[in-house]
Amino acid sequence: MICVQVEPVFQNRKAITDGVEEVISLKNFTLVSFTVLVLLASSLAHSKTVIKVQMIMGKDSPEYVMANKFATDVLALTGGEVVLKILPKLKTTETKGLLERINKGEIGGGIAWTHYWSSYHPATMLFGSPTAGAGLGFDNISWVSWFLYGGGRELYDQLWSEMGMNIKGVMLQPQGPEALGWFKEPIKSMEDFREYTYRAPPGIPGQAYVDLGVDAVTMAGSEIFPALKNGTIDAAEWCCPMPDRIFGLHKVLKNYYLQGIHQNVVNTDMYINGDLWKQISTQNQKAILIAADASMMHTIAWRMHENGKALKDLTDNHGVILRDTPKDYFTEYSQAAQKLYKKFSSSNPFFRKVYDSMEKFAQSTVPFWAQAQSSNAQIGSAYANKIKK
């Protein structure tokens, strides 16, 4: 049974009542007039759909903040007819099985990171975490451009049927680039990196590290801090300055490498049971998608500001040392990721279809964007160096 609540909400009650009195007072009152009035009253009656949306992120996460902003926008754009109740992760919340529960209609919706479902289909990585820019030079801005104007949204809709899921996916929160992470001692090369047991993301990002000879392990975000404290791992990545600070990673390690490419694009999305989605009016479906598109821009802008403040706090007040990532990391990691893309492209037709779409888009868009961003990076770096002195 789908977890959805429908409540009648009548608007313009006075207008309907006044109309009844006016019609009844007419001498030429007919059955036809009464029928028209009933239809009018019906057209003014609306229903409120309440959807419980289970997140795999906690209440203190940036994703929870932006999910609630999205829900507020949906409420406003649908005139209160669609209510998204955002439920943060609790200790008893299990990530595993979330999609199955939504697919079966046991819960109405969920929010996670798209790449978490790579065990269902490797193409989820291209939507959720195109490692090393998919080998095509993508960053989070150019990825959004592909998604909105390069055919990405249509392929994303197809992804769920490829996975055999009765789900409507809604892309919400692009973020990145993620930091390479935290280390006990400075690293000057990939050889130094290989000396560490490193928490890495699941899927292609983590596998690329393993292929490079890094002792990379995956674990849930909530497990990283305890693992660092007890020595199970001695280096780790999670995300970016703001969420890393929330997790307290700076309390254990002080050497922070901001430049990483294992997840220079990361996306959070929402999943709604397909049958439930069809019950929502076309107008309100459109309103939800408009709110989702707005959420993408809000997420990029908000996280940029919050990560900047968090990084300044970490370096100014917590003894964190910001270091430059070794140059051989970028070459070696990009090559390892590219091998994995070739492997999945040759073995999975839909992965190949999505990758071909991204490649076609990148050939015209990425060269422009990279050169335009180069000038932005130079003036930004010049300012950063100026205030550092």
Q: CATH code at 333?
A: 3.40.190.10
Q: Is 36 among the domain residues? A: no
Is residue 37 domain-resident?
A: no
Residue 19's pLDDT is 39
pLDDT the model gives residue 202: 87
The enclosing domain of 52 has a CATH number of: 3.40.190.170
Distance between CA 8 and CA 272 in Å, rounded? 22
Among candidates 90, 9, 88, 12, which has minimal Cα distance to 50?
Answer: 9
Calculated CA dihedral for residues 97, 208, 173, 98, nearest 10 degrees? 0
One domain for residues 143 and 75: yes
Residue 172 phi/psi, 5-degree rounding, is -125, -50
Residue 238 pLDDT:
96
| Rg of the chain in Å (alpha carbons) | 25
Whole-number percent of the chain with pLDDT over 70: 88
CA gap 51, 140 in Å, rounded: 29
What is the per-residue pLDDT across 250-270, written as a single tens digit (0 to 9) for each? 999 999 999 999 999 999 999
Query: What is the tally of structural domains in the chain?
Result: 2
| Residues 279 and 165 both lie in one domain | yes
**Do 274 and 296 share a domain, yes or no?**
yes
Instruction: Choose one of 285, 303, 321: the last residue of a domain.
Output: 303
- Cβ atoms of 18 and 41 closer than 8 Å: no
Structure confidence at residue 284 (pLDDT): 98
Based on the fold, state whether residues 237 and 171 are members of the same structural domain: no
- pLDDT for 104 equals 97
Q: Do 331 and 365 belong to one domain?
A: yes
- Domain limits for position 359: 181-265+310-369
Q: Would you state the pLDDT for residue 291?
A: 98
Same domain, yes or no, for 108 and 122? Answer: yes
Is 34 contained in some domain?
no
Residue that terminates a domain, selected from 255, 281, 303: 303
User: Residue 121: inside a domain, yes or no?
Assistant: yes
The whole model's pTM is what?
Answer: 0.85
Domain end among 303, 328, 354: 303
* Rounded CA separation 335/331 (Å): 6
Query: What pLDDT, on a 0 to 100 scale, did the predictor assign at position 388?
Result: 81
User: For the chain (length 389 residues), average pLDDT per consecutive 10?
Assistant: 43 36 37 39 63 96 97 98 97 92 97 94 96 95 97 98 97 95 97 97 92 95 94 96 96 97 96 98 98 97 97 98 97 95 96 98 96 91 87
Asked if residue 209 belongs to a domain, the reply is yes
What pLDDT does 44 receive?
38
35 domain residue, yes or no: no
The pLDDT value recorded for residue 46 is 58
Q: Are residues 49 and 78 in the same domain?
A: yes
